[in-house]
Structure 1
Amino acid sequence: MARCGCGGGQCNCAIAAGENVTLSGSGSVANPYVVSATLGCEDVRPCLSGTSGVDYNPAPGVISADLSGQAGNNRTLGSDGGLFVPTGSATVSVGRGLTGNGSGANRVKVSTGSWPYACSADTNGGVVVCDSNGRLRSEPRGKITYQQFFDSRDYPDITVPAAQNTVADTFSMPVTNTDPRRDAFVLVEREADVYFVLPAGAGAGAGYAGDEMYYLRNSGTSSIVGAHTQPPRCWPTRDCSRRVRARRSGAR
């Protein structure tokens, strides 16, 4: 240390030990001053406090991580005393079609039923996709529409011709497919009122598109007036245009 007020090889500096400080030596070259400081834990603890995420117990002076006790928290202290989050720990809550808790032993899964059909689900199962809002969607829903078409047409009496098949009239009706993605399957049901006047010995039939649905022959000796039929017919088709045919045979 710098010499202060020293003369004749003697130093007149006065040095005193303060709080928590010890002093030894005389200040000579052979016996210099040695200053030692000792600070106890009880002196440091008042300066410490617990904050967010830190737990401090001032009595023993222990500082540790403050682990939340909130349900679902999986962070723990490992065997070495460090913070530890087990791999695959449960981190989610599920419901509405989901099962599991997200752990390695109980992964989150979609709750599904069993496939009850003899065919394979790999080739015959539907598709489930995720839409732009993150919601699961199935394939487009099927649509059913019902349309009716009534048309009244009167015809003058037609002499029973000799030809086997004669087209009496043709009907058509437009059908709009309301599904924007799939072809429509159209089921057409048609009925037509047909009246026959059959002379003795004459016979006549009526049907649709060459398919005879009704036939009557007059085997008596006088005319049959007002013989009536209203045959229905269904077509599974994409083309709703069908012809109504009248088959007549017998007397000329």
Structure 2
Amino acid sequence: MGEVARCGCGGGLCNCTVQAGNNVTVSGSGSAANPYVVSSEVRCSDVRGCLSGGPGVTFNQATGQISAGLSTQAGNNLTIRPDGLYAPTGAATVSTGCGLTGNGSGSSPVRVNTGTWPYACSPATSGGAIVCDANGVLRGEPRGRISYVQNGETRNYNDVLVPTSTAVVPVDTFSLDVTNPDPCRPAVVLLEREFDVSFNLPAGAGAAWGADGDEMYYMRNSGSSAITSIHSQLTKVYQALAALGPGASSTITISVELGRGTGGANYNRIQSLLRAILISL
């Protein structure tokens, strides 16, 4: 470091001279108000020669960088965590049953035991999802549901004249309440409707009936005597609702319509049966 301080005393007084050596800085005048301050700086290049690498550690004397070498030896398990490298103590123990392979070692990592996609469509657009629930259990997509509801009733009338309009017109309505039991998916609602209208047709009389603008039945009495309570039960199946939301309810209403009444034709009964199938997949 070199000479730092030299002092001489005489006559009860001391006089000191402070001289900086190598890598040493001296400041201050040596008085009580401004004492000497001696500081030293050690340069990195001066100490790099004292450092070296070791097993698994690399040291670059030119840059001063110290790095760890990653082992490729089978069985080693090294994890990179946010705060650095982590090497677990002891060998990993993994129980792999259905759906998993491997034992968790470096040479046999744990993997999902996947199958082969056997469909023409792409799994990226048509495949289902696998998720973790709040308890960390793997869950697949919800199961599909099919439900069924129906309502039937018979209404009697006091020989009401059939409308004479050339097209059938509404004379009564029948309803069915449906609720989608699926809490996850919308449901398609398929409706099967059956109606039966009883006509009284004097000689020469005629009448028609239908539903929702669709004439489905016409009868004319071409005989010489009256026909009492003639009827025919007809049915139709169609999609009533394309998408009834999860848990949502709706009321399906069908109008029974009569027309083309001639010769005093009248009706005395309408029988209705509405059946709905709700499908959510």
- Normalised by the length of structure 2, the TM-score is 0.52
Give the drift of 1:132. 0.9
The structure number with the bigger radius of gyration is 1
Contact 1:130 1:137 in 2 (8 A): yes
Supply the distance in 2 between the matched residues of 1:155 and 1:111 (Cα, whole angstroms).
69
**SS of alignment partner, residue 229 of structure 2:** strand
1:104 is displaced (CA, Å) by 5.0
Match of 2:126 among 124, 140, 151: 124
Equivalent AA in structure 2 for residue 120 of structure 1:
S
Q: CA deviation at 1:231?
A: 1.3
Return the alpha-carbon distance in structure 2 between the equivalents of residues 167 and 84 of structure 1: 83
Q: Does the aligned pair in 1 maintain the 2:161–2:261 contact within 8 Å? A: no
Cα distance, 1:220 vs structure 2: 3.2
Contact 1:166–1:247 (CA under 8 A) maintained in structure 2: yes
- What are the superposed Cα offsets for residues 93-112 of structure 1, whole Å, 9 maximum, x if unpaired? 30022233334554433333
The alpha carbon displacement at 1:193 in A equals 2.3
How many residue pairs match? The answer is: 170
Greater relative contact order, per chain length (Cα 8 Å cut-off, separation 6+): 2
Change (3 A) 1:113 1:226: farther
Residues 193-223 of structure 1: CA distance to partner in whole angstroms, max 9, x if unpaired?
Answer: 2112223443323222112232323333433
1:197-236 superposed matches below 5 A = 197-236=200-239
Partners in 2 of 1:180 and 1:149 — Cα distance? 24
Listed as ranges, the gaps of 5+ residues in structure 2 are: 1-72, 79-90, 242-249, 265-281
User: Match for residue 104 of structure 2?
Assistant: 102
The Cα shift of 1:241 comes to 1.9
Summarize the Cα distance change of 1:114–1:229 in structure 2 as closer, same or farther, 3 Å threshold: farther
CA contact (8 A) 1:162 1:251 kept: no
Counterpart contact for 1:160–1:248, Cα < 8 Å: yes
Shift of 1:84: 8.2
Residue of structure 2 equivalent to 1:43: none
- Residues 108, 153 of structure 1: alpha-carbon distance in 2 compared, 3 angstrom cutoff: same
Matches of 2:207 and 2:106 in 1, distance apart?
80
One-letter amino acid of the counterpart of residue 259, structure 2? R
Q: How does 1:1-252 map to 2 (within 5 A)?
A: 85-87=75-77, 91-104=93-106, 106-163=108-165, 164-238=167-241, 240-251=252-263
Distance change in 2, residues 1:87/1:208 (3 Å) = same
Q: Which runs of 5+ in 1 are unaligned?
A: 1-82
Taking structure 1 as the reference length, what is the TM-score of the superposition? 0.57
Give the number of the structure whose residues are more often strand, by fraction.
2
**Displacement after TM superposition at 1:169 (Å):** 0.6
